[in-house]
């Protein structure tokens, strides 16, 4: 065999090995929702049981408004599209009635991208040094960086709707009001830790 043939032979061998390696390596890991979620996502469902329905969600419609805020979010996470498992992305929508709001909230591990499609929303997020706030109209896109408190309010004349994308397959939703006031935290502690006990008015 000439040298060139030997090289080609080994090249071929290498190629067949790597292509085999890629095809046996998982291209996706559809969530097995029967098992427990872990910090690195759900365990994979056997590939033989995976179908197209694991990658499609069909009715992204307005969810029920969060009482009493007249606004709410619908999230399509890994729990709705098992194929999102491990991909670090998900979707949803935000719908707010007139004078309604999606109250102050945050997603611990997800940046949010909001794409306005209908009506008008005043949206913003807060950091210790800066308030970013803007009134959005259809076609506007706004980003809410990971973990920051944010909100949307509808001061418009009609209902407002937007689609959202999250940089997590399971963004979670922590609503500040619920965290603070819908718990068994003793009232005295709640008042002291939030200054609702009047410390602020007393001028301390």
Considering the rule CB under 6 A, would residue 98 count as an interface residue with ligand NAG? Answer: yes
> How many Å apart are CA 178 and CA 64, to the nearest integer?
17
* Contact status, residue 161 vs residue 137, Cβ threshold 8 Å: no
- Compute the distance between CA of residue 89 and CA of residue 149 in angstroms, rounded to an integer: 20
Total site size for ligand NAG, rule CB under 6 A: 2
The answer to whether 99 contacts ligand NAG (rule: CB under 6 A) is yes
Residues linked to residue 113 through DSSP beta bridges, in sequence order: 143, 165
Q: Is 178 in the site for ligand NAG (CB under 6 A)?
A: no
112 annotated ligand binder:
yes
- Residue 92: CB partners within 8 Å, gap ≥ 6? 60, 73, 74, 75, 76, 77, 163, 164, 165, 166, 171
| 105 belongs to an annotated ligand binding site | yes
Q: Which is nearer to ligand NAG, 76 or 153 (CB)?
A: 153
158 binds ligand NAG, rule: CB under 6 A: no
Q: Is 174 annotated as a binding residue?
A: no
By the rule CB under 6 A, 143 interacts with ligand NAG: no
193 in contact with ligand NAG (CB under 6 A): no
Check binding of 56 to ligand NAG (CB under 6 A). no
Residue whose beta carbon is closest to ligand NAG: 99
Q: Is 20 annotated as a binding residue?
A: no
Element (H, E) at 81: none
**How many angstroms separate the CA atoms of 44 and 39, rounded?**
14
Instruction: Decide if residue 199 touches ligand NAG (CB under 6 A).
Output: no
Interface with ligand NAG (CB under 6 A): 98-99
């Amino acid at each position: 065999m000439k040298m060139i043939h030997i090289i080609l032979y080994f090249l071929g061998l290498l190629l067949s090995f790597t292509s085999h390696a890629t095809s046996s390596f998982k291209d996706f890991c559809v969530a097995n929702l029967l098992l427990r979620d872990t910090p690195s996502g759900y365990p994979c469902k056997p590939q033989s049981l995976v179908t197209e329905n694991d990658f499609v969600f069909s009715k992204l419609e307005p969810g029920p408004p969060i009482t009493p805020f007249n606004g709410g979010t619908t999230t399509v996470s890994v729990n709705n599209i098992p194929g999102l498992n491990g991909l670090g992305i998900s979707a949803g929508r935000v719908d707010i009635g007139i004078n309604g709001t999606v109250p102050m909230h945050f997603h611990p591990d997800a940046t949010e991208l909001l794409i306005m499609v209908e009506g008008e929303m005043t949206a913003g997020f807060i950091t210790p040094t800066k308030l970013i706030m803007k009134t959005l109209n259809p076609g506007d896109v706004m980003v809410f960086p990971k973990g920051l408190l944010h909100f949307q309010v509808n001061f418009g004349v009609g209902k407002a709707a937007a689609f959202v994308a999250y940089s997590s397959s399971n963004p979670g939703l922590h609503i500040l009001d619920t965290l603070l006031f819908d718990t068994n935290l003793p009232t005295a502690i709640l008042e002291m830790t939030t200054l609702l006990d009047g410390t602020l008015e007393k001028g301390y």
